[in-house]
Amino acid sequence: GTGTYTCDGKSSIKNPSRKGAYIVVSRLNGVVLYQNWVFNEGAFEFETGGTSDMDVKVYSGSDRAWELQSLTFRSACSSPTIQIEERFGAVKLIGFQYFGADMIECSCIKFEQDSPTPRPTPRPRPRPPTPQPSSSPSPPPTPQPSPRPTPSPSNCPNSICRERAFTMYFVFDALTCNASSNSQESKSSCEDQVSIANASSAFIEFSDKDTGGKTSRRKTQQVRKKNKNDNEIPYFSGSISFGAVVEVDNNGSKFPADMDVTIYKDDTKSEILQYVKFHSSCSQNLFLGDRFGSMKVIGFKYEDGDIEKCF
């Protein structure tokens, strides 16, 4: 009804690459009832404590720097009443639970822990007809190239980076920028310089200064941090095989806001295959499984020693 519901879209919330949002639910007096990251179509629950009106804010990340939507609605179930499956902007009501009673819910609930829908069983392909014998001599078989191994891991859970990491883990799988899949939007970039497809190895440098793909010539297999005596000392610099895991850290310090990755053909650094830049401070959405060109994020290590990984 009039005066019982408002919705204000601060910024475009429709984005095919957005995996979810950080949601804060509170009373109108500012008392927070719920705050957490919620994936698209994911369910969340909270206790209202009998409050009459509810305030919901939807942010792009846990730092709350970018508000996508702000809405309020009447939650007291007084006139006009609210019903299951009514929608308020980006959120949809899917259940009630009254004091001392069972939950009333609809079949549209989709919790994050639900088992994934099983993949359909592929139909068997028909066998080709048996060739008839020929009087002419058979040509020598054409040698087939050995297939490259599939890098591990192939799948990562949708686990978001919760704070600026001390160590990050990546896997190199020689894919072009078109394979990028992340939700950092304008905060990341990828440039293919020379075809990287089918590369069995590469020389890779991780750094924090945008120098147009021309990082320091200092060669090291150690992870080093930037200091005042060098224009740039890479966090990691070395030859990496296809499918190998790369561990990158900042010598006991948190990473800067941005990370640059320069992928060379070999250790002469005379030919750049790919240049990648992304936001590494976790103020922008960064998930396990996010891909930036040839590099896939597969692990975070935090200041308290806790490690989230998928390898």
Nearest-5° Cα angle at 75, 110 to 2: 115
In 3D space, the residue among 81, 88, 75, 86 whose CA is nearest the CA of residue 49 turns out to be: 75
The Cα 78–Cα 131 span in angstroms is 78
Q: What pLDDT score does 11 carry?
A: 62
pTM of the model: 0.50
Q: What pLDDT score does 26 carry?
A: 84
Q: What pLDDT score does 138 carry?
A: 63
The Cα 42–Cα 151 span in angstroms is 30
Q: What pLDDT score does 119 carry?
A: 43
Whole-angstrom Cα Rg for the chain: 26
> Which class for 286: exposed (0-12), middle (13-18), buried (19 or more C-beta within 10 A)?
buried
- Segments of the chain scoring below 50 in pLDDT: 1-2, 108-120, 122, 146, 149-153, 210-231
Non-local CB neighbours of 38 within 8 Å, separated by 6+ positions: 20, 21, 22, 23, 44
pLDDT digits (tens, 9 = 90+) for 91-124: 888 887 765 566 666 554 444 433 344 444 545 5
Distance of CA 308 to the CA centre of its chain: 13
Q: What pLDDT score does 246 carry?
A: 94
The dihedral built from the CA positions of residue 39, 40, 43 and 48, taken in this order, carries a sign that is positive
Residue 228 Cα distances to 27, 231, 232, 233, angstroms: 50, 7, 9, 10
In 3D space, the residue among 277, 292, 281 whose CA is nearest the CA of residue 212 turns out to be: 277
